Amino acid sequence: MKKITIVSGYFNPIHLGHVRYIQDAKSRGDYLIVIVNNDKQQLLKKGKIIMDENERLEIAKELRSADEAILSMDEDPSVCRTLELIRERNPVDDLYFCNGGDRPDMDSIPESKLNINLQFEFGVGGTDKINSSSNINNLKD
């Protein structure tokens, strides 16, 4: 049995805060899965495609800390269905969904309602917001 840590994000664009979040999550387990939110989710959150899902997924796959990077299969802003799929593929492993400083507790995430024997860690990568994709993208507008 291994401890699998999981992170999710838009990584749009990826910045130092994301890198530290991913590195910290990797240090907490044996195997790290990075979930990249898809274009439909990006449209729901941002109202436009900034970097498409294939570009963001390719970048995530090249990160040294990531053992695996996958595209979210969800059609809402959560990654609930994707986490359920990960659980199906890893029925006996310990799964830890790691959340950064912008998600401080169980009440802030819909994934907390899943009944798939999933553990949660908060404050991964620190609680200070080093950078923000929103701030970077606002500079582009």
List beta partners, residue 68.
33
Domain range holding 86?
3-140
Distance CA 141, CA 122 (A): 32
Distance CA 137, CA 140 (A): 5
Q: Which pLDDT value is given to residue 99?
A: 94
In angstroms, the first-to-last Cα distance of the chain is 47
Residue type, 69: A
Rounded (to 5) percent helix, strand, coil in the chain: 40, 20, 45
Task: Tell me how many domains the chain contains.
Answer: 1
Q: What is the pLDDT along the chain (141 residues), one digit of tens a residue?
A: 999 999 999 999 999 999 999 999 999 999 999 999 999 999 999 899 999 999 999 999 999 999 999 999 999 999 999 999 999 999 999 999 999 877 878 888 999 999 999 999 999 998 766 555 555 555 555
Q: Which pLDDT value is given to residue 139?
A: 52
CATH of residue 62's domain is 3.40.50.620
As a dihedral over the C-alpha atoms of residue 76, residue 23, residue 62, residue 85, rounded to 10 degrees, the angle is -40
Does an H or E element contain 22, and which? helix 16-27
Q: Which pLDDT value is given to residue 102?
A: 78
